[in-house]
């Protein structure tokens, strides 16, 4: 076990316990809680939200999943935004409204809590006993829109901002108002939500220590391989359609000729005053497939093999991937060179969303930078145990990666 020990002695003990747990769980199911180790948390509908017009794309009620904290964590709260992509025109939003991404009536009524949401001290040492909440995503604009579309036969609601307000209003009298510590986090489109609600969350909890974490939400405003700003066009259409601009940071909007660009985190980040942690892959698979090499820029399919199997990438393609990594690091320099209050963990894994997955959050073979897992890095940053600004070496140096390319590259619903 000495080769797996981490920097801090007390954390090393916890990690050793986690290793034993992970080794025994597959062979001794009764050793794991809930039989197979999964924590299933039921859905709660916010039944008074409709009075404020806070509804999903199809008009259904917003929802969340809450697992109560205990002991020393009973007054601490972790809120996690669910991810799930976006819709940027009426047609795609109407289609989305008929899926689990636009209607709580079509969602699973129980969610697995793992990784940063786990209630097991061996798997989630710093946050296992907190009140942990997962906010379900059903608006298609990262909880930022406030508009609607109506014609003779259809209506679709763009009410993400109101959903955010309604859920917070619902949770405040249920213990959130008395929080001592709080962390706002999210993955993918939910990670983007954190950039736009971080300071508001802090204002709503004036007596708490509030910090924010974005996992795989640092979507770049970058050119694709055909020199087009494909992602910029998508976001501009989304901001216009869903009435997002009025909810973007005012200082950011005043600083740019095109205020819609403040939907991108690299422009919004510098105006966030709450301590912030950036967790991202420098080779984020979603971004490779939709920002760097979107289908519109690879009509002949020359990147198909490379995007599903790294060994199939030619030298020119690898060079472009390394260039994208450099853009990611350049855009995040604000945190890297900024105050000690902020943190980052930028690894070189070809993946997307890592904090809710137990194998990547904390496990035997979790990704590491300088021998630190992301669970330890985030905990060190939140509790002020250490300055945490970790950047991995370029691909292919990291041998701890879980490169989830085949699954993610073919899945647009992230």
User: Is residue 203 exposed (0-12), middle (13-18) or buried (19+ Cβ within 10 Å)?
Assistant: exposed
CB atoms under 10 Å from CB of 352, counted, come to: 27
Whether 118 is a known active-site residue: answer no
Given 65, 352, 355, 380, the catalytic residue:
352
Whether 67 is a known active-site residue: answer no
Enclosing H/E stretch for 111 = strand 110-113
Q: How many CA atoms lie within 13 A of 395 on its CB side?
A: 25
Rg (CA), the chain: 21
Q: Cα 339–188–330 angle (5° rounding)?
A: 40
CA pair distance 390, 412, nearest whole angstrom? 29
Whether 60 is a known active-site residue: answer no
Cα of first residue to Cα of last residue in the chain, in angstroms, is 36
Given 58, 126, 199, 284, the catalytic residue:
284
CB of 402 within 8 A of CB of 367? yes
Minimal CA–CA distance to 347: which of 317, 367, 319? 367
Token couple for 26: 């597959």
CA pair distance 401, 310, nearest whole angstrom? 13
Given 60, 114, 188, 366, the catalytic residue:
188
Residues that are catalytic: 188, 284, 352
């Amino acid at each position: 076990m000495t080769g797996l020990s981490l920097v801090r002695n007390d954390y090393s003990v916890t990690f050793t316990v986690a290793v034993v747990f992970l080794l025994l769980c597959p062979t001794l199911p009764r050793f794991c809680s809930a039989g197979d180790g999964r924590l299933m948390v039921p859905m709660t509908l916010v039944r008074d939200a409709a009075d404020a017009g806070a509804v999903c794309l199809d008009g259904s009620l917003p929802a969340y999943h809450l697992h109560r904290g205990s002991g020393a964590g009973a007054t601490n709260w972790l809120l996690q935004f669910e991810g799930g992509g976006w819709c940027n025109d009426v047609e795609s939003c109407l289609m989305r409204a008929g899926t689990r991404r636009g209607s709580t009536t079509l969602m699973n009524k129980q969610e697995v809590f793992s990784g940063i949401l786990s209630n097991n001290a061996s798997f989630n040492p710093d946050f296992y006993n907190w009140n942990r909440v997962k906010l379900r995503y059903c608006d298609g604009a990262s909880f930022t829109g406030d508009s609607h579309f109506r014609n003779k036969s259809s209506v679709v609601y763009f009410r993400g901002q109101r959903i955010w307000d309604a859920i917070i209003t619902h949770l405040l009298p249920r213990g959130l108002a008395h929080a001592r510590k709080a962390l706002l986090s999210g993955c993918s489109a939910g990670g983007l939500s954190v950039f736009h609600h971080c300071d508001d969350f802090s204002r709503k909890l004036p007596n708490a220590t509030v910090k924010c974490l974005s996992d795989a939400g640092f979507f770049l405003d970058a050119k694709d391989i055909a020199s087009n700003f494909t992602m910029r066009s998508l976001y501009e259409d989304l901001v216009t359609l869903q009435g997002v601009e009025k909810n973007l940071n005012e200082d950011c909007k005043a600083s740019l000729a095109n205020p819609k660009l403040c939907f991108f985190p690299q422009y919004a980040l510098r105006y966030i005053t709450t301590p912030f942690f950036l967790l991202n892959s420098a080779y984020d698979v979603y971004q490779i497939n939709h920002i760097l090499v979107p289908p519109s820029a690879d009509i002949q399919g020359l990147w198909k093999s490379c995007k599903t199997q790294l060994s199939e990438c030619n030298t020119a393609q690898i060079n472009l991937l390394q260039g994208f990594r450099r853009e990611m690091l350049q855009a995040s320099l604000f945190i890297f060179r900024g105050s000690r209050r902020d943190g980052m963990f930028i690894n070189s894994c070809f993946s997307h969303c890592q904090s809710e997955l137990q194998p990547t959050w904390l496990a035997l073979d979790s990704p590491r930078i300088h021998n630190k897992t992301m669970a330890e890095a985030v905990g060190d940053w939140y509790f002020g145990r250490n300055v945490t600004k970790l950047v991995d070496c370029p691909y292919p140096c990291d041998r701890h990666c879980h490169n989830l390319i085949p699954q993610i590259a073919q899945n647009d619903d992230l």
